[in-house]
Chains A and B, each alone.
Chain A
Amino acid sequence: MNNAPKPRLEDLPSKAQLYRSSIAAAIGAVVILVTVYLPAEHAIDPTGLGRVIGLTEMGEIKRELAEEAVRDAETHGDQSSSVIDAIFGAFIGSAHAQEAWRDEVTFTLAPGATAEIKLVMEAGMTATYAWTATGGRINFDLHAHGEGKSIDYARGRGETAGEGSIEAPFAGEHGWFWRNRDSSEITVTLQLRGDYSEVKQTY
């Protein structure tokens, strides 16, 4: 019935070998659990090794994202999913050269810190932006929500400058979630012009 002969006992590991292997595997599993798994998944790092090899940072970021996702669901749980692919691309135009900017926002983020800057826009309005980051490289998520809808226009990580325009497909708050994942303080300067009624920091 099987495509192999019955194993000969001399080909198999002895009971003593198997016993030793089992003990070694159990010890190995506990070591991996404590030094690798707990830091990487839960930012629990009893040995301190996880911090050194970068796994505790992973655990911290995951925990942070999980908490944000929960808060997100509480605040915006009724929203439809984003329509990234359908609309992405149509919104990233290039800004024209130095026409006068209407607003300039400057803020500084310590490592790990976040900010959210939003433009209040009506459907069909277009706003143009340009930003630079100095002191480090920044992560952002350019998105919008309002009228029960949400959109992700663009995401970036480790970037130092960006420009383009936002064309609002619906009324609401359109703008950036910024996060400093770098190791130094970052100052972001964001310049804006176009149709929008208000600039505000929402977070």
Chain B
Amino acid sequence: MTSTSRGLRAPASRRAVTLTLFTLAGLILSAAQALAHNVTPGDAGYIQEIWGVHIIPFIYLGAKHMMTGYDHILFLLGVVFFLYRMKDVAIYVSIFAVGHSVTMLLGVWYGWGINAYIIDAIIGLSVVYKALDNLGAYQKWFGVQPDTKAATLVFGLFHGTGLATKILEYQIAEDGLLANLLAFNVGVEIGQILALAVILIVMGYWRRSPNFMRQATVANIIMIVLGVILTGQQIAGYIAST
């Protein structure tokens, strides 16, 4: 890579500042020089360097976000825990996908800035809710079974709001925003399907075990604990931030 350099031409009547512009190689110079422009590294840094439509990279980022977002994965695990037939899995996962897609897209498009701690605390609670549901707690305590599909949709809406909050922090360029956002959403769904594939294979082996039902109780209690921890962390973060 080459580049040219030119000296400056000072406008008439004003003093010229001596300024030498070096040849700037495309490669980053190895010398440790002052740079100090508050570098943002990682995915956010990448996003803040680019503009225009980048379909595949945003699909990747969406999938990565979903697969590394343990709160989403935990909720998904809770939802499919006792769904034994693929048809049911498909229905519930689709409901969840519709829910989080709606608020993710609208949230970013209209810039709904919701406090990340609050929304993540609600997402933590969604894990607690689903694990309690799996244990039949609502029937035991209140004598009613809340509609599981409706709950999946409502919590899907909250998960999408959480996704939107994270995407807004990425500061995606206006140029190409809609296409990139849709690509990100497609990536989120791909990531969800990939995570689900692993969950279903593991669950497939586990469900064949004669101890499954007993262990399932323990597993859902552990999920409650994890959900409470997630929620508590976010509440603590919220308090610390105010």
Contacts and interface: CB of A to CB of B under 8 A. Distances in A.
A94 interface: no
Interface residues of B, number: 75
Q: Is the interface of B mostly helix, strand, loop or mixed?
A: loop
Nearest to A101: B11
A67 B42 CA distance: 11
Nearest to A203: B33
Interface stretch (A11-19, A85-93, A125-133, A161-169): A11-19
A55 B24 CA distance: 25
Given A13-B204, A74-B32, A143-B36, A106 B3 contact: no
Given A62-B45, A105-B19, A158 B175 contact: yes
B49 A201 contact: no
B36 A2 contact: no
Contacts of A18: 201, 204-205
Contacts of B45: 61-62, 65
Interface in A55-80: 55, 57-58, 61-62, 64-69, 71-72, 74-76, 79
A108 B5 contact: yes
Contact of B54 (A54, A65, A102, A200): A54
B48 to A, nearest CB: 7
Interface string B83-94: 011000000000
Interface string A1-27: 111101111011101011001100100
B136 A3 contact: yes
Interface of A: 1-4, 6-9, 11-13, 15, 17-18, 21-22, 25, 28, 32, 36, 40, 53-55, 57-58, 61-62, 64-69, 71-72, 74-76, 79, 82, 100-116, 137, 139, 141, 143, 145, 150, 152, 155, 157-158, 177, 179, 181, 185, 198-203
